[in-house]
Structure 1
Amino acid sequence: MAGLGRTRIAFPSQFASAFSFHRKFAICLTSSTTSNGVIFFGDGPYVLLPNINVSQSLIYTPLFINPVSTASAYIAGEPSAEYFIGVKSIKVDDKDVPVNTTLLSIDSEGYGGTKISTVNPYTILETSIYNALTEAFINETAARNITRVASVAPFGVCFSSENVLSTRVGPSVPTISLVLQNETVSWSIFGANSMVQVSEDVLCLGFVNGGENPRTSIVIGGHQLEDNLLQFDLATSRLGFSSTLLGRQTTCSNFNFTSNP
């Protein structure tokens, strides 16, 4: 286990101090069970096989600090060391999902907002956001003649894979978009990151219900991060993200440790 938070004792800060580079790191989690992903400390370029420089296509959004720690154990008055981004709205196939936007902001007591977590395997949503997203997703899949089937824990919404085509970016299902600081900046979540294959003929939406009044309204989990390169710039408090690398015909397991500088 490696600490990658904002604290001064975490790896990014210690490495930056020891080797005199910027307080910046990037993670690229693989979806493969047999190949490794990669973590870069310091700046890029981030070059993946076959000679694709992902650095050139990163989209940037501000990182925010929650004034109240969201850790399981913390000192009173200590700000959160985790990474929060500002989701303004959610879309499914470019259609707005009706959500209570006050839940998307962090209040004075540290509740609400959106954080990135490699600890949680799947994205966790506050109940009303979960219900609105799943309803919109179900409606859009029905329009594609994708049949809903019985749920498989921990997922609440599952489908038959019978009418779901396979594409370069995963199962052909509606695209979920997290709209960030404005309408032109969004994190697109395609089938490879939105769906989980739970059996040969059943796919489930890889988002789970986090209950009412959770500490954080949206926690983006590991499955949604796979084959996405994320650059955390602590010095300037911004996140660079690639969205799925599958559309560029590469993956997070395509870093060649023998040839990259």
Structure 2
Amino acid sequence: MASPLKNFIHFFLICTIHFISSSTAKTSTRPKGLILPVYKDLSTHQYITEIKQRTPLVPVKLAVDLGAEFLWVNCEKDFTTSSYKPALCNSAPCKLSKSIACTTECYSAAKPGCTNNTCALFPENTIAPIQTSGSLGSDAIEVQSGAGSVTVPNFLFVCGSTILLDKLASGVTGMTGLGRAKISMPSQFFSAFGLRRKFGVCLSSTPSKGSIFFGEFDSSTAPLTHTPLLTNPVSLSSTKEPSAEYFIGVTAIHINGKAVHVNPALLSIKNDTGHGGTKISTVDKYTVLEASIYKAVEHAFVKELNVPRVRSVAPFGACFDSKKIGTAYSGPAVPTIDLVLQSKDVYWRIYGANSMVQVSKDVSCLGFVDGGVDSRTSIVIGGHQVEENLLEIDLKASQLGFSPLVYRKQICANFKFAAKA
């Protein structure tokens, strides 16, 4: 008969082996891709995703900012965790984030967002817009992969304050940045799991679920057109660092195949100031055009549509009686708008479903906004024009792939991202 001591040792060894094997399984299995659900909040037109963060894990809703540099979360209210680690000044995380400020003394009890000798960054609500100072730190987050959920134990983020939540959708407590920066969400996922430096975005035009996929995925069901990603050498926050936003080279605009006269100088990015050019945004609700470009596009569109206008509805200029506009497989039967890229044969075509906005039962408007004469970026392709398009941002190849889905086979709510083996 075995002694109680031997029974205990046997039980202890079994538990130890089980623990080691379980831990090894969690750390040795690398996902081929990660996926975040994204839905459109109809009251704000913001694109919202959700992760799990902290210990114990809690769901955290975040507004998606394609061009921002990092994830920030409000740490002032209901932020409880046992796994938060502040990033100490001059540490590797601080250098990675390119922080140039250090909080030497915090005037309250130590907590996430308030610790001494911690490097500082400047989280921004780009929707309000509001910017404050915040502290860099890390905590555990959990996201979905093709085979279940995976955890990043030390995901870098910035603790923001409650004031930053102004104008964000109900329940949202932060924003996640997908831009070209060392501590953006894509960069940290690529590093943590050895994924190819590529991610896809498919935003739904309804509250139905769209997706953001990180890693190599199969886009054969939606063949992509490719164009180079351009770098704006001047960021909004610093003249020493390039912008984290995604720019592409629009060289001309065609409406119904006819060229629109625009000042070509506005389509290029000025190296000294960073003004001009074309970027893609998930923060701007609609495409914003520099004043002279807007006027030229509006004039050409109205002429080609040849439907009497009605009173404008802010923020739009050209509005029409929707009963006098027919329908097509691609939405309202209106002139196509082509953003011509590196050649006349490569263009981003905007059909009626993306160019028009139904503002009331009987009125629809051209969904472009006049950005004024002093707009920093000449063309900002906004959320409404991005919806139901698959975007593939390949950072290794420095190119954008894009494909309209709703006009071909499916919409973003039905598109299935599949990781490549």
Q: Is the 8 A contact 2:406 2:412 kept in 1?
A: no
Report deviation, 1:162: 1.6
What SS class does the counterpart of residue 176 from structure 2 fall into? coil
Residue in 2 that maps onto 1:91: 254
Work out which of the residue numbers 222, 225, 228 in structure 1 matches 2:389.
228
Are 2:227 and 1:61 equivalent residues in the alignment?
yes
Aligned counterpart, 1:41: 214
Residue 11 (structure 1) aligned to one of 151, 162, 185 = 185
Secondary structure of the residue that 1:162 maps to in structure 2?
A: helix
1:21 to 195, 200, 207: 195
- CA contact 1:168–1:246 (8 Å) conserved in 2: no
Q: Deviations over 1:202-230 (max 9, x none)?
A: 11000000000211000000000000000
Q: Measure, in 2, the Cα distance between the counterparts of 1:249 and 1:240.
A: 17
Q: C-alpha offsets along residues 58-101 of structure 1, whole Å, 9 cap, x if unaligned?
A: 0000001100003xxx2331110000000000000000000001
Match of 2:283 in 1: 119
User: 3-state SS of the aligned residue for 2:353?
Assistant: helix
SS in 2 for 1:131: helix
Q: Is the 8 A contact 1:194 1:224 kept in 2?
A: yes
2:225, 2:401 within 8 Å by CA — same for their partners in 1? yes
Aligned-partner residue type, residue 276 of structure 2:
G
For residues 183 and 355 of structure 2, the distance between their equivalents in structure 1, rounded to whole angstroms, comes to 34
Q: What is the match of residue 254 of structure 1?
A: 414
- Deviation track 1:207-261 (CA, whole Å, cap 9, x = no partner) reads 000000211000000000000000001111100000x21221310000358xx56
1:179 to 335, 340, 343: 340
Q: Is the 8 A contact 2:202 2:210 kept in 1?
A: yes
Q: For residue 207 of structure 1, what is the aligned residue in structure 2? A: 368
Alpha carbons 1:64, 1:83 under 8 Å: kept = yes
% identity of equivalent residues: 58
The alignment partner of 2:177 has SS state of coil
After superposition, the Cα gap between the structure-2 partners of 1:85 and 1:256, relative to the gap in structure 1 and judged at 3 Å, is: closer
Q: TM-score, normalised by structure 2?
A: 0.57
RMSD of the TM alignment (CA)?
1.3
Give the drift of 1:3: 1.1
1:9 Cα offset (Å) = 0.4
SS of equivalent to 1:135: helix
Aligned counterpart, 1:2: 176
Aligned partner of 2:283: which letter? V
Code of the residue aligned with 2:374 in structure 1: it is N
Which amino acid is 2:413 matched to? S
| Secondary structure at 1:187 match in 2 | strand
Partner of 1:50: none
Look up the equivalent residue of 2:296 and give its one-letter code. Answer: A
Letter in 2 for 1:107: K
Superposed CA deviations along residues 25-65 of structure 1, whole A, max 9, x for unmatched, are: 010000112x1101110111047xxxxx12xx100000011
Runs of 4+ in 1 over 2 A off after TM superposition: none
What is the 5 A alignment of 1:48-197? 53-54=221-222, 57-70=223-236, 74-108=237-271, 109-142=273-306, 146-197=307-358
| Contiguous gaps of at least 5 residues in structure 1 | 48-52
Displacement of 1:201 after TM fit? 0.8
How many residue pairs match? The answer is: 244
Query: C-alpha displacement at 1:157, in angstroms?
Result: 0.6
* TM-score w.r.t. length of structure 1: 0.91
Larger strand share, 1 or 2:
2
- Which has the bigger relative contact order, CA under 8 A and spacing at least 6? 1
User: Which structure would you say has the larger Rg?
Assistant: 2
